[in-house]
Structure 1
């Protein structure tokens, strides 16, 4: 019996020793509650896990229960005693347990009862701190939720391809990107048919390389798809990865798809815009550049090289650019690039030193271009020489001091309103007198200094000028001001002039005003006086209308009279030819029959009669030609001016040869006009050029033309608005004339030389002017005595 008791005692000691070893080896908190004695033992985990030193832990169960979170305490204790009272064998629960630092740990606690004769006498358990596990689970859940939300927010399509049976699984967004394929199409071989034919082989090759166990290439490809049912063309960017088992067999191929149609379109627009911008930039005097970030290669314009180095032939590299940068401005450039990495926009101003040692201020503007992953791939921009602007700003500071002096000494009321609040600055004495407020207004906003202006238009006008930068002025504007303690009405001629800084921003408004109260009051009195005569003016207007109608009727009668006069001139000229022919005929017969019976004086007078009759005949012919021109006979058609010139030169061939004149004709255009009238025009101009030659000089005539631009056409009178015009020039090196007689030479019967010098009726140039007027053109001339003349004719061209 004693041996048996000793054996049990040894087994109990061994069990206790094993329990203590287990309590030390485990990472949990082990506790042993003696239900009969009411004592509670904790292992070292109480200190290691929860931070309690052994002396801080009470011996009873309150060391446990008092550290349970108040919100969990009642429920946990209730369940424990239910297990003990009902004689159950185990208990477990999740709750919060207070650490030594006051924070709470999430624990999973488990206890087991030891019973003797069916009565629980001890409960042994282990408490596990699961706070980290809970945080990890919560973080994982939040991460999964965030990933799900991000995929939905980014409108990403997810896909999963089974490499074994070739089936595909798409989410709703991915189905939308493929144009909603039918379930029967959800196989690899069917889905690739929706890929654009031009991209299909590239996509298939990328998939095969991703599924090849020897390559295992990440799947990253851009391609177009034609929607399965909506037939819509979309650009997609797909990325994915294949997964392989230990034997190297792919068992899964999955990834995401993103629509990049707008990005591709934008990139195309950006590239086109960059090309257009580069052309515009070069035309404006700025230089352009583009840097490939992967290689630091710079593509630049000659203008850019000149702005940076002073030479268009410089071989621009990153090293040369940094060498040309002024040493004191290196920090400016570095800070600008640091900011550009975040914003995508590069902007800075710095000095560059040219090869000749001169210093130039340069403004650099650039923009990064990114790929679909957000990686910057290039930097493009422009450079501008702003040396003049910087120097202007420096001069501006000096000018501002001058402005202050000028305002103070200005003879008219002048003040400066600074900033959006229109703070009054440097009003001169004249302006202070206008306001009647004294110097106390200086430094105050205009609204506070002159409250009586509220409700008057001046504040709104000043605000508009500050926004638009456009000056404003008025004459006789009314202003109600409190002067000498009472509200009075004044009138001013005033000007608001915006002052701008180097960036073109308005920073102040200059106010200049002149008191015109007396003049305005006088004008108002005059207006009231004029009102008394308004009825008289109305009556006068009625009489003018009546007189106008009478003049219109008289004009109609005058036109009829002119028509009758033209018919009379034609008939009279025609009837005068017959007696002239008889005079010439009988004169010729007298000379041939009775010349031996006439003395020298008789012969001389008979010759004078013959000459006078010939001149009269020529004059009648010219008058007939002129009268025909007034009728504008014939319709206008396209006319080959070259053919007319050739015909005229053929008619004048004998006189041209006799005068030994060289005629140079350039290529002639087609004009809109009457061929017969244009022939008269060319014949008169050329015959005049042949006739008025310098005897001692070789005679040369040049016939040329050029097109008339819009600016020149605007200076000419009475031209057809919807026709293009040519400028025909007939030039010679003859005797010329003084341009003071320019208007005279185109009048009827006007001559600058006597008949003994040059023959003619004095109607030729008047006829030319009439032809040109009939063609809605214009004729003039340029000349100097002894240096030839150039007759200039503007004629229309066909539409």
Structure 2
């Protein structure tokens, strides 16, 4: 079963990785993935396709990114990145210049999302989009708008705007001059009509009426005379305009331009051209303009128009440029637009045009026919705009939405979207439909209608609040009552609501993700009930534990008293045993001095044996007394400098060192955590042993060193202090050594591997060493071979 689950997890991981790789390949953006813990940055193939950088030249770390940012932008971008990481922001955006492989710089839009684990930023993932063409297009648009403004000024056009509902008319300064500068601050339709020549008033009123008629929506293009309000000067004006309607057909704006054509009234063609230019100004676009005289098919165009249609400026193109360069697949769309224009007078269509270099661009064409007095179309004028960026953006959005749809459908958790304030259900995956106990029939319905049982529960209000505030919401173990097969059942969910915003920042949907935790919550509730049932048992147990604690405290106090008595006994016993030994040593010494000459050889031998035995007994009592003092740990631990202790011990052993001609080498020793007196005993006994058990006719060399521990060695130590680190102290010699099969034996009381005739001693020294190390929660062991020396290893704690 576990193997099956592991395989399933691996399959899911492989599928997720494959999806990410497909997304990275499918998009035209440059995808990047910055591992903040490892300090590595991964780039998709877009790094080569968009910027020309090959994988071989891309560094593995963030320098592959930072070093290619324009020097003037680098500090700002890096600062924004670190601010986003340090503030735990979920996302960041920047626009800056990024160096291509050829040394040029691209303008990029960079968006990144930060991934956090336990509140720490561990990863940042995002994408770059090359905005160079868009920015060039924006610059061209701004330039075109400036050119149009200049053209308006050069053509002496005045701009006007009328509110059909109130009749208030807004004139710019030029328009006011065309009407003789009326004195009224706020102009209105009725008063302005009085400044129109009486022979032309009816024509103007009818023209405006037809333009504001929702059934006719006629283009306003008319010439008439005005009589100046203040100077009474007669002027011929050519006015063009258009009415704008609400979806219900109510006109809400009527605006246009006016030009003084008094000196040009005889030149109809020029007047028509000026009128059409003004009409295009109303449309708010000046990307490229054209005028076609229908009788002769003569084409008058701006350089910008030629560049948008063909990809380059040309001084010799004809009307068929709109046919030759249109994409074959869009011929029918163009023909249909002209057929509609023949009936309505307005030409509008969007189509792909193939430039001279065979690149394809989307172009929007807007035109308007001009008719003579008989109703015959005499010219077609209009504008063209390059909308490639808009179409590509829409395609990217559609692709992103399709990816989102697939991700939601394949998400391992229940997921759905609620569109608009009516919360229309969209894209619920199978897991969500299963939770709701509903089929696909709920798609497209308001959430309130699809799940009426939610009406008296908090979820609908939470969703309404999110649409108002834009704040996401998440909850764990929240109760929900759902109607499953006609039965209202209770479930528990971990869920989240996240608002989704469009390009203008408005919330258009909420993403809902939910995990069914009903079994976990019910198990927890059962556990809480069980805990309540056993609460009394716990109280009883606490009472018994308290009683047992008091008993242990009393026993511990008795143990303290016992240890104190033991120490007093050991001290008294040592003194009581030392006193007869001192007398034996004293009298035997006097006996040897006074009567030694009277003893035969056997008597002298026995007297010497008495003295040797008394000395060994005295030494053994001293060692036993020292060992007994170690049976209770001295709690007065402090930082102890082993180097100072080693120096003091070597000074005390100076006579033995010189007598045995030993050389002691002391390496750097640390400060350890322990009792100075006990550690002095430890070092003295280890050095004494090393000096004693030397090989004859070989200079004795003894070394003391300290070593750090790795995790494996530390984990193998028994009885360690968890809050302390440890150090290993080694005392090595080149003495007689021993067989390691006796390793456990040498640390026991009174155990000897050699006879007293070979080496003196009580057999307690190493046992005392072991006791000192145990008191310090440490460990002692040794490595040795006969005739190859020994190394004693002591593990001791060090201060924090």
Structure-2-length-normalised TM-score: 0.37
Greater Cα radius of gyration, structure 1 or 2: 1
